[in-house]
A and B are shown apart, each in its own frame.
Chain A
Amino acid sequence: MGPSLLRPILVRAASLGAVLIIVLVLMVLILGVTGFSDRILDAQVGEELRALRTTISETTTDPDAVEEVIAAQRTALEEQYGLDQPWYARMPAVVAQVLVFDLGDARTIRAADGSNSVADIILERLPRTVLLLTTSLVITAVIGLTLGVWLSTRPGSRADRFISYVAAITNGLPAWWAGILLILIFSFWLRILPSGGMYSTPPPEGAIASFLDLAWHALLPILTLVLVSIGPSIYVYRTLMLDVAMQDHVTVARAKGLPESRIRRRHILRVAAPPIVTGLILGLAASLGGAILIETVFSWEGMGQLYFKTFSGEPDETVIIGLTFMFTLLYVAARLLLEILYVFLDPRVRYE
């Protein structure tokens, strides 16, 4: 690609990178100014000292000796966590580390292999979230496009009006509540699908059985996500197609006597493709946040559920910062991908 294509993408990348840094700095600032960071670290030091006190009380009976060890350990710990400095001296290092993906260690949360590195924990959970979101997105897109294109040939028909109502209603349907309803129906009443989790207990042996078990557990959450997004997506594709179908070049193509299927493929779909791709990627980015709710409902151990867990119990600062950074990074990356694809798909975009 020529410089005329590269430059706008680079500009966009720089601006999205700025978003990432702004979010990170703002987050760290807020954690510091509100004293939230100090509180978390204080609690952490207190907890470790309590554990230490129990251990040494078993070996020593002299209370003075115990206090001395504890006091020494407190100073050491405070230094280790940076509590001897104010937050504004401690935080810049945190920002710098996170920006180079050095996400630090979690306090209580562990990855499956026992690693307490936040990067490991996130990398373990990221594929699970991506699996859930992309599978449902692909299913929604395939059904949505098929029905959307079909509907666009019959605007104003009964099916068309029906879909517009379905779209309006499912727009007001929170995915997490739809998930609860599906658990009630399929898991509690019919008892044919698991209510949550990712694997059965005990987990099945072997790769194939294990994968099937995972798919079995993913069925309800994916069904939920497809159910709440299918109506609006059909409606959006239908409207996009209709918009293009009313443009002059389509009328000209028809006047030339081209076959309808060729018009639809070459003259409508080709032109409607960029906004369709935009919609898809924006949908994926938007569903990232929604993953927090849907994974909580289905106890799906992805990034969203981890995010919720970090906040609901004892907050763990390194995990909070690492995860929020990753969420923002993924979101921003999706946006950037969008810009790049746009340049390729739409020959009119040249930013000149």
Chain B
Amino acid sequence: MRRRSLVREVLASTAGKIGVALGVILIAASILVVLVVPWDFGPSRWSNPSVWADYPKAVPPAWTAVLAADEPVEHQVIEADEPSESTARGDARVDVYDLVYEHVADEAPTFLSFSLADVTYLDRPPSLSVTLLRPDGAEVPLLRTTIRGPRPGEEPPFERHDETPLRVLLTAEPEVAQATSEMLAETFGVDIPARVLRDDIAAALFGAPDENGELQPLPGTYTTQVRVALAQPDDDLGWVRAVVGGTVFGLLGTDGSGRDLAQGLAFGLPIALIIGLAAATVSTAIGTSLGMLSGYKGGRVDLVIQRTADVINNVPLLPLLIFFVVVFGAQLWLIVTLLVLFSWPGLTILVRSMVLGLSGSQEVEAARALGAPSTWVLRKHIFPHTAPIVFLQLIFFVPAIILAEAGLSFLGLGDPSLPTWGQILEDGFRTGAVFLGYWWWVVSPGLLIVLTAVTFMLLALAMEPVVNPRLRRN
């Protein structure tokens, strides 16, 4: 079977077309992920709680809003690193950041928080004020604060909030409750005392009282305006951020720690493909070479290889995999090595029987009679005949390996430094996502596993009749 006609035959079937299309999409997507996402995504982002502090915990994807009776609030992180306005007065200046939020939901946000990071100043610490500008023109002062001054003995430039950002949960501050109460009294003439408001400041901040004095959501554009007074031209602020707490988030929702599932699952794609392809390739290489050696050499070599293959073929795979991973520790290279060690024997036995058949062929006898060395005979006159079957096995191995790794990860035996789909699923299942109805946490990783496995299954299905022409008759 020539390479070009294999491709043509595969593309001729529906399974082949779908398989190739899915394969191209998966590989393109994983190249993109590898280029965009840093390699230490696992420890530096995924397993780093401070990255996810501003994200809502265990909320469904934003598109589920379409199905909801009331339009839910989409969780939004509004960030600015450049001021929208800057007024200089001598050396000093005032920078204004406008964080704009469009409120369209039928309910109030769950919270409003403000954070900033990377402040640098030379002598006087910057001070800032945060104000909410409402669509009805009312203004609510939210925060007034000064960055921490120099410590005794500290040399300028002074750096503040470079490691942990300053984060204020505005809707939990008594001062904000007081200011909101005053705003309601001034704008609407409604008197709700601050201590009553305190439990639900967000409803008042993003709402207006109806004729009965009940707070109703007020749609429109809200701007969280941050004014920063800086004393020196080189004084600087990294970024400011307002977070509007919602009940839906992003493309795939978040997990119980507030992590964006879309990011974790995207990172899992190249990992799954690399594990599957690498282990399958090595396993196929080992299986084929041992099979050829066994069939061609015969004698003691044959006996040893076949006995070893027989032993490995007759042991229960998953229990022993679990045993090895627990004893040796959950590292990715170890898991891949074990999967390779357990998967070669089937192919070795198959290749050996093919080689035994081919050894007696006229082609091989002719080559031997001409004095060709055995490596030459193996490479030029035997391997080409086994190649299509070997290639088919390679394609069959990939999903098997991906599923085995996912199963191990699901048992909590995955490499903790790399988030894989199986691990995200395990995380969800262990923390009770299934019983709490957090379907987005367990459905999407599983779907991705199935999609990846099925891609290779379809490719193998399309390749089978080409490689094994007997199947073509049906």
Count of interface residues, chain B, beta-carbon cutoff 8 Å: 45
User: Interface size for chain A: under 10, 10 to 19, 20 to 34, or 35 or more residues?
Assistant: 35 or more
B439 within 8 Å of A (CB atoms): yes
Q: Knowing A169-B450, A174-B406, A308-B411 touch, does A320 contact B434 (C-beta < 8 A)?
A: no
Cα distance A320–B458 in the bound complex, in angstroms = 39
The residue that A173 contacts in the complex, of B407, B437, B450, with Cβ under 8 A, is B450
B457 within 8 Å of A (CB atoms): yes
Closest residue of A by beta carbon distance from B327: A36
Q: How far apart are B310's CB and chain A's nearest CB, in angstroms? A: 7
Closest residue of B by beta carbon distance from A173: B450
Residue pairs across A and B with Cβ atoms less than 8 A apart, 10 shown, are: A23-B315, A30-B324, A174-B450, A180-B442, A183-B434, A184-B434, A188-B434, A188-B435, A296-B411, A328-B319
The interface of chain B, by Cβ under 8 A from chain A, is: 15, 310-311, 314-320, 322-324, 326-328, 399, 403, 406-407, 410-412, 425, 429, 434-435, 437, 439, 442-443, 446, 449-450, 452-454, 456-458, 460-461, 471, 473-474
The interface of chain A, by Cβ under 8 A from chain B, is: 15-16, 18-19, 22-23, 27, 30-31, 34, 36, 155-156, 164-165, 168-169, 171-174, 176-177, 180-181, 183-184, 188-189, 195, 239, 242, 246, 285, 288-290, 292-293, 296-297, 307-308, 311-312, 315, 320, 323-324, 327-328, 330-332, 335
Q: How far apart are A50's CB and chain B's nearest CB, in angstroms? A: 24
Closest residue of A by beta carbon distance from B473: A246
Known contacts A174-B407, A183-B435; 12 further A-B pairs (Cβ under 8 A): A23-B315, A171-B454, A174-B410, A177-B446, A184-B434, A184-B439, A242-B474, A293-B410, A315-B326, A324-B320, A331-B314, A331-B316
Q: Knowing A177-B446, A181-B446, A184-B439 touch, does A328 contact B315 (C-beta < 8 A)?
A: yes
Check A171 against B453 for contact (C-beta < 8 Å). Answer: yes
Check A328 against B316 for contact (C-beta < 8 Å). Answer: yes
Cα distance A285–B318 in the bound complex, in angstroms = 11
Across-interface contacts of B437 in A (CB, < 8 A): 184, 188-189
Question: Which of B319, B410, B452, B453 is most buried by chain A, counting CB atoms within 10 A of its CB?
Answer: B319
Check B407 against A176 for contact (C-beta < 8 Å). Answer: yes
Does more than half of chain A's interface fall in helix, strand or loop, or is it mixed?
Answer: helix
Q: Knowing A246-B473, A308-B411 touch, does A289 contact B457 (C-beta < 8 A)?
A: no
Check A177 against B425 for contact (C-beta < 8 Å). Answer: yes
Check A292 against B443 for contact (C-beta < 8 Å). Answer: no
Across-interface contacts of A156 in B (CB, < 8 A): 474
Closest residue of B by beta carbon distance from A315: B326
The tally of CB-CB contacts under 8 A between chains A and B is 131
Across-interface contacts of B326 in A (CB, < 8 A): 311, 315
Cα distance A323–B434 in the bound complex, in angstroms = 29
Across-interface contacts of B315 in A (CB, < 8 A): 19, 23, 328, 331
The residue that A15 contacts in the complex, of B310, B406, B449, B461, with Cβ under 8 A, is B310
Check A169 against B454 for contact (C-beta < 8 Å). Answer: yes
Closest residue of A by beta carbon distance from B411: A308
Closest residue of A by beta carbon distance from B329: A34
Across-interface contacts of A16 in B (CB, < 8 A): 314
Across-interface contacts of A312 in B (CB, < 8 A): 411-412
Check B318 against A176 for contact (C-beta < 8 Å). Answer: no
Q: How far apart are A93's CB and chain B's nearest CB, in angstroms? A: 20
Check B473 against A22 for contact (C-beta < 8 Å). Answer: no
Q: How far apart are A282's CB and chain B's nearest CB, in angstroms? A: 11
Q: How far apart are A281's CB and chain B's nearest CB, in angstroms? A: 13
Across-interface contacts of A330 in B (CB, < 8 A): 316
Cα distance A229–B446 in the bound complex, in angstroms = 17
Check B314 against A332 for contact (C-beta < 8 Å). Answer: yes
Q: Knowing A34-B327, A292-B322, A308-B411 touch, does A22 contact B316 (C-beta < 8 A)?
A: no
Question: Which of A155, A174, A195, A312 is most buried by chain B, counting CB atoms within 10 A of its CB?
Answer: A174
Query: What are the 8 closest A-B residue pairs judged by CB atoms, nearest first?
Result: A172-B453, A289-B318, A155-B474, A177-B446, A172-B454, A168-B457, A331-B316, A327-B319
Cα distance A47–B342 in the bound complex, in angstroms = 37
Across-interface contacts of B318 in A (CB, < 8 A): 289-290, 292-293
The residue that B316 contacts in the complex, of A15, A181, A246, A288, with Cβ under 8 A, is A288
Check B435 against A195 for contact (C-beta < 8 Å). Answer: yes
Q: How far apart are B341's CB and chain A's nearest CB, in angstroms? A: 12
